[in-house]
Amino acid sequence: MCNIGEMKNRISCGMFDDRFVQLYGKDICLAGQRKRYCDALSRFEELFGEAEVSVFSAPGRTEIGGNHTDHQLGKVIAGALNIDAIAVACRTDNAEVKVVSGDGPLITIDLTDLEPEASERGTTTALIKGVLQGLSLHGFTIGGFQAYVTSDVLIGSGISSSAAFETLIGTVVSGLYNDGTIPAQTIAMVGQYAENVYFGKPCGLMDQMACSVGSLVHIDFADKANPIIDPVSF
């Protein structure tokens, strides 16, 4: 965590190039990713002002095998992509979460009122509220924050833009309020809860689990509450 100016300077000077290679592969355009992150920081500053910020990432996913078998308590192989959503975020002292995604409007959520609303089904607001409520129900700390989100995981492209967004919000809360200790599997299950209960889509768990756990994984859903996740070496 550091102020926006210092973060942009560190990125521009190449201090995070190793991390970018880890996230996006050795053949990426480093200059392009540096600009992308610096642009996101600038946009955050335009929206919310100067702050001590952290930056978070969550990937899209591709399914290698097992289409829809997560619904049938079966097995899947899925992989995280080097296409992701990123968030610039900072904690606040009030009980509000404020998020702007891309060119969308400011979303403001009251942390004292996280019950699902029928009028919000199918909206980004529903996903954020569902993740926040789900983490709280799992016993994790939630709190106010401001975030600007930008995503290369295109909506409707079949690479789980909604699961990437849910995972990103869970990761922000984990980083800002829980010292990064919320397990990836819990973030995935909370993302599914948000999509099922708040957003209104009866999705399985493969998308969220692949986005949250990362890399290439084999998942056995025989026990729906406790899926077995095995990394696949390749």
List for the chain the helix, strand, coil content (%; round to 5).
Answer: 40, 25, 35
Segment (H or E) for 108: strand 107-110
The tokens for 218 are 């084999």
Sign, CA torsion 81/232/69/201: negative
Tokens linked to 15: 């201090």
Reading the block at residue 124, the tokens are 């980004």
Residues 74 and 94 sit within 8 Å (Cβ to Cβ): no
Task: Scan for tokens 């049938």, then name that residue.
Answer: 72
Is 93 one of the annotated active-site residues of the chain? no
Residue-wise burial string across 140-160, b where 16 or more C-beta atoms lie within 10 A, e elsewhere: bebbbbbbbbbbbbeeeeebb
Closest CA to 213 of 173, 183, 175: 183
Amino acid found at 110? D
Q: Which of 207, 220, 223, 230 is catalytic?
A: 207
Known catalytic residues? 207
